[in-house]
Structure 1
Amino acid sequence: MASNASSVPGVDAWSGFAQQAQAHLPSTSRLVLLGLINLPLAIVLLNALWQVIKPKDPSKPPEVFHWLPIIGSAIQYGNDPINFFLKCREKYGDVFTFVLFGRKMVVALGPKGNNFVTGGKVSQLSAEEAYTHLTTPVFGKDVVYDVPNEVLMEQKKFVKFGLSIDNFRAYVGMIEEEVENYMNADPGFRVWQMNDINEWGSFHAFKTFAEITILTASRTLQGKEVRNSLDKTFAQRYHDLDGGFTPINFLFPNLPLESYKKRDRAQKEMSDFYVDLIQERRAGKSTDAEHDIISALMSQHYKDGRVLSDREIAHIMIALLMAGQHTSSTTGTWTILHLADKPEVAEALYQEQVEHFGLGEFGNFRPITYEELKTLPILDAVIRETLRLHPPIHSIIRKVVDDVPVPPSLSAPSKDGVYVVPKGYFVLSSPAVSQVDPKVWHNARKWDPSRWTDPEGFAAQAYKTYADEKGEKVDYGFGAVSKGTESPYQPFGAGRHRCIGEQFAYLQIGTIIATIIRKVELRLEGEFPAHNYHTMITTPKDPCNIVYRRRHFD
């Protein structure tokens, strides 16, 4: 073991410090200090030794070797989970266990691993117990993962009522209008106001798309009152609430930190804001209701006849605001970064707009409609390919609430025939790994929208499996939905926890991208940004600036 100690980060520096400290102390003190200084190193080495000599339980998946007790593989996982998983797969296979701050995380990779986790039985695998400590302080009580699964399925059904085709038709125009107003008013797009078409401006892709996303989401799903309330106070509440939606909150939900206190204050203030809005509607004091989710929720009731309370509606609206904002803004950012990096694809996207919507005087296109938005193959391919390379969530986690066997087709058989994941462990699948697996995708790490244009190609077949186009739907309690749990392409999750906002996300991102592409040319400023895995949603690292100039229209 001594020969391996030098490979532990910081050991050499720690030993040097110990030697210097001993030289300046009396002998007894030196012995005490020596013991204290070397204790952490001894613990690390004992932890490593125990992993080597302890008897292996053949009924459990192999465990990834780790130097640091309790912390385990948290550093490798946190810095780059995709490469961490791929390296572990080479050594241990598709099923293995790693330690994450004392938690035993059983990883199941590949389409069968996705199916094992996202298609698992509620009686064995619980999303609620895996996530409620993170989501409840942000979203609020009595919604999402703070309720039994059957109640969550009803709440998803209520939201789905608001995501109707009629509402979608109205949303496209609202989103287009919001984007145009943003580009005309925001200083970041000042070049759009200039006469010199050769002048270039720049904007921060992530910050800009985050602003546009919250404007369009509030105007559509949230309603006019929320859209009109987007002032500094609302922005500060959102910022403080968002501060509670980080990896540290997932790992340690109740630390005595100022950010946690701000999170709790912001949650109460945001909850009260929505409750006041709902009560004004019930009293007939507001006439701003228009195709939004609040209106849909106010008319729903549970199977037992109970109507949703105002507080429940408020917390569902907060959940929609937070979850939708993160995923859509990040996906939109990655999309526009790729278009700026590949001007030829952006030009093809622009020509698709010209072909379908015409180009009138001064570049005035015909307004986008919902039906036409769904028939734009290049735009569709661009979004799908972006979601393949940059799914918002890289890890899907469930807590094991009852011992669960791993299917033999997924794991190497043990002496008992299969691995068994014990109660109290966590299981984890990673669609992000499946979507860049070089064993199944050609040029897996290359952004290539054209892979989606071949109806017989692997990408198209993967999507058919995800969409269950043969009509093999399942109803978990919120309406028939594609199961899609065995697809290597799962950008919106799968199974009973599949995102019900999937269609709205395509609509929102597609309309925003189409509107921007109509007006400006884009170029990437500098290198393409790397992934930032230190956030709950996989965002681009800085710098992620885009330069642009307005289009020239004859």
Structure 2
Amino acid sequence: MSLNTSEYFSLTSDSWTGFIADAQSRLSGSPRLLILALCNIPLIAVALNVLWQLIAPRDPSLPPVVFHWLPFIGSAPSYGNDPLKFFFECREKYGEVFTFILFGRKVTVTLGPKGNNFVLGGKSLSLSAEDAYTHLTTPVFGKDVVYDVPNEVFMEQKKFVKVGLSTENLRAYVGMIDQEVQEFLRRDASFQVFQKNATEEWGSFDVLKVLSEITILTASRTLQGKEIRDSLDKHFADLFSDLDGGFTPINFLFPNLPLESYRKRDVAHAKMSQFYQDILRKRKETGSEYEHDMMAALMNQAYRNGRPLPDHEIAHIMIALLMAGQHTSSATGSWTLLHLAEKPEVADAIYREQVEHFGSGDGHFRTMTYEDIKKLPVLDSIIRETLRLHPPIHSIMRKVREEVIVPPTLSAPSENRTFVVPKGYYVLACPAVAQVDPRIWRNADTWDPTRWSDPEGAAAKAFTEYNDEHGEKVDFGFGLVSKGTDSPYQPFGAGRHRCIGEQFAYLQLGTLIATLIRSLEFRLPGPFPAHNYHTMITLPKDPRIVQYRRRHHD
């Protein structure tokens, strides 16, 4: 068949006319098509992500990856809502070692005491804390301290802080904390029933709100110094709140968002840093001495190379101590009071213990001392048990600087496999899992302080391992400390990053709980609060109301 030129152009013209008409028809519905296409993109992405996990070849040297529906986001919803439940479920499917996706990050988890030891006892050249956390901590704490410096410099800074936590200072702090708590009860609006001297009427308060206020008051009176304690007004509270707003999971995951909270954080840090530096300058000008506070101890420190500790570093260390200590102590204090309100018989045991050691029998007590705190085993056991069930931090991360080998002893017993964690991954230890592991602890989910008085029980063994009572101490650069990385109980971390404020935290918590129990009885009007894992520190969810009344003295 042949076509002449006129026929060809006629057919071609008709074809183009039809094509243009068809195109116009399609374009007239383009908004709907566009919306439909945009709606389908996430579904396609999910489908491709699932398909890739099912059919893509997997490197057998890498830990198994937790199945996840959402690309990039990965397992973030499950991990963020309840990390312990997520980890226990993953352990059942994948063993003690696995990798999950957290907003694009590949995070390899190593569970159990051996897994904790792998991460927390690892070499800092391979597993870096500063690479994991500096984007979160530096804007809040400040430059040139903590994770904004090489690890060996941070270890020296911990040594400086340790000087301020001498036994002499701790002895002086007990009376200060006791006095602050009693003064708080006499003046705070939450305790009007107590102030009316009513012995039958019950009042109530938000336990986290009250413990947060008491914690910052007692910390400022002791570690922070007189000037900071005298400056605790609304302006300081607002600065602290704005700075605290930069210490959240979203700041860890997305450090550079153009949000108002980020701007407020930066402004608050600049003002608070200047506030501390002004105090330092005045102290130097007047020659004033404050022998029991941390600032005085830091002013006399110098690095090994002879460089004195500059004012801005002292200021930033003070901010770090204020922020970190306030969060952990207020959370633990809140959980402790909630448990005591739920079990008043345990609170009564703490009261009777104090009557026995420094009470007069008529409701009066002599001033509590540092030595008294050491002689209260019931009080000690309730703090240990609260920290076991409610450690302030559930996950501890390090960023992998160079490829590391996970030994076969960490994988599932049936597999006994060696894994490789590549450079650029994160590794994660979760001491909180080991602390409630039913394979280790009897009635693991039950708050039972008596477990700590059993010399043959799991608690006593774990505590011995944590303090390396029969082992060799290690010096990471800030003095000899217990490594503690093999223990299933690690409430203050372990290894080179073990919290040096551990003794102060026990002292602060013990003193304020003992003082509250001497004055008040507590009860819990509702169900025990669940964990809120959406914050950096694990807090009790609302409602967290505790009722109180003035204690009846026998």
Match for residue 4 of structure 2? none
- 3-state DSSP of counterpart to 1:283: helix
Contact persistence 2:391–2:432 (CA under 8 A): yes
What TM-score, normalized to structure 1? 0.93
Q: 2: distance between equivalents of 1:367 and 1:514?
A: 12
Given the superposition, is the C-alpha separation of residues 195 and 177 from structure 1 closer, same or farther in structure 2, using an over 3 Å criterion?
Answer: closer
Structure 1 residues 157-182: Cα deviation after superposition (integer angstroms, max 9, x where no partner): 00000000000000000000000000
Given the superposition, is the C-alpha separation of residues 420 and 286 from structure 1 closer, same or farther in structure 2, using an over 3 Å criterion?
Answer: same
Mapping 1:531-546, distance limit 5 Å: 531-546=531-546
Instruction: Return the offset for 1:26.
Output: 5.8
Match for residue 401 of structure 2? 401
What TM-score, normalized to structure 2? 0.93
* Alignment RMSD: 1.6
Match for residue 98 of structure 1? 100
Mapping 1:89-168, distance limit 5 Å: 89-168=91-170
Match for residue 281 of structure 1? 283
Instruction: Return the offset for 1:39.
Output: 1.3
Instruction: Return the offset for 1:551.
Output: 1.2
Match for residue 19 of structure 2? none
Q: 1: distance between equivalents of 2:60 and 2:400?
A: 19
Match for residue 21 of structure 1? none
- 3-state DSSP of counterpart to 1:302: coil
Given the superposition, is the C-alpha separation of residues 472 and 26 from structure 1 closer, same or farther in structure 2, using an over 3 Å criterion?
Answer: same
Given the superposition, is the C-alpha separation of residues 207 and 416 from structure 1 closer, same or farther in structure 2, using an over 3 Å criterion?
Answer: closer
Q: Amino acid of the residue matched to residue 315 of structure 2?
A: A
Q: 1: distance between equivalents of 2:218 and 2:48?
A: 55
Instruction: Return the offset for 1:195.
Output: 3.8
Q: Amino acid of the residue matched to residue 327 of structure 1?
A: T
Structure (1 or 2) with the larger CA radius of gyration: 2
Match for residue 317 of structure 1? 318
- 3-state DSSP of counterpart to 2:410: coil
Q: 1: distance between equivalents of 2:415 and 2:77?
A: 33
Instruction: Return the offset for 1:293.
Output: 0.5
Mapping 1:80-91, distance limit 5 Å: 80-91=82-93
Mapping 1:169-180, distance limit 5 Å: 169-180=171-182
Contact persistence 2:407–2:417 (CA under 8 A): no
Contact persistence 2:521–2:548 (CA under 8 A): yes
Q: Amino acid of the residue matched to residue 350 of structure 2?
A: L
Match for residue 64 of structure 2? 62
Q: Amino acid of the residue matched to residue 156 of structure 1?
A: K
Q: 2: distance between equivalents of 1:516 and 1:499?
A: 26
Asked if residue 437 in structure 1 is aligned to residue 444 in structure 2, the reply is no
Match for residue 258 of structure 1? 260
Match for residue 411 of structure 1? 411
Q: Amino acid of the residue matched to residue 541 of structure 1?
A: K
> Larger deviation: 153-162 or 289-298?
289-298
Match for residue 299 of structure 2? 298
Instruction: Return the offset for 1:412.
Output: 5.0
Match for residue 19 of structure 1? none
Match for residue 11 of structure 1? none
Q: 2: distance between equivalents of 1:467 and 1:407?
A: 25
Instruction: Return the offset for 1:123.
Output: 1.3
Match for residue 358 of structure 1? 359
> Larger deviation: 190-199 or 408-417?
408-417
Match for residue 385 of structure 1? 385
Q: Number of paired residues?
A: 529
Q: 1: distance between equivalents of 2:459 and 2:453?
A: 9
Q: Amino acid of the residue matched to residue 183 of structure 1?
A: L
Contact persistence 2:355–2:361 (CA under 8 A): no
Structure 1 residues 128-180: Cα deviation after superposition (integer angstroms, max 9, x where no partner): 00000000000000000000000000000000000000000000000000000
Q: What percent of counterpart residues are identical?
A: 70
Q: 2: distance between equivalents of 1:131 and 1:291?
A: 31
Q: Amino acid of the residue matched to residue 504 of structure 2?
A: F
Instruction: Return the offset for 1:27.
Output: 5.2
Structure 1 residues 289-337: Cα deviation after superposition (integer angstroms, max 9, x where no partner): 2401100000010000000000000000000000000001100000010
> Larger deviation: 184-193 or 269-278?
184-193
Contact persistence 1:525–1:544 (CA under 8 A): no
Instruction: Return the offset for 1:415.
Output: 11
Q: 1: distance between equivalents of 2:471 and 2:465?
A: 11
Asked if residue 457 in structure 1 is aligned to residue 457 in structure 2, the reply is yes
Q: Which of residues 256, 269, 272 in structure 2 aligns to 1:270?
A: 272
Contact persistence 1:413–1:419 (CA under 8 A): no
- 3-state DSSP of counterpart to 2:205: strand
Q: 2: distance between equivalents of 1:111 and 1:267?
A: 37
Q: 1: distance between equivalents of 2:508 and 2:305?
A: 35
Contact persistence 1:373–1:507 (CA under 8 A): yes
Name stretches of at least 5 consecutive residues in structure 1 with no aligned partner. Answer: 1-24
Match for residue 519 of structure 1? 519
Q: 2: distance between equivalents of 1:291 and 1:478?
A: 20
- 3-state DSSP of counterpart to 2:548: strand
Mapping 1:215-230, distance limit 5 Å: 215-230=217-232
Match for residue 79 of structure 1? 81
Match for residue 428 of structure 2? 428
Given the superposition, is the C-alpha separation of residues 526 and 412 from structure 1 closer, same or farther in structure 2, using an over 3 Å criterion?
Answer: closer
Q: Amino acid of the residue matched to residue 158 of structure 2?
A: K
Match for residue 234 of structure 2? 232
Structure 1 residues 218-271: Cα deviation after superposition (integer angstroms, max 9, x where no partner): 000001110000001100000000000000000011110000000000000000
Contact persistence 1:294–1:317 (CA under 8 A): yes
Q: 1: distance between equivalents of 2:445 and 2:414?
A: 34
Contact persistence 1:58–1:415 (CA under 8 A): no
Name stretches of at least 5 consecutive residues in structure 2 with no aligned partner. Answer: 1-26
Match for residue 12 of structure 2? none
Q: Amino acid of the residue matched to residue 299 of structure 2?
A: M
- 3-state DSSP of counterpart to 1:409: helix
Instruction: Return the offset for 1:535.
Output: 0.2
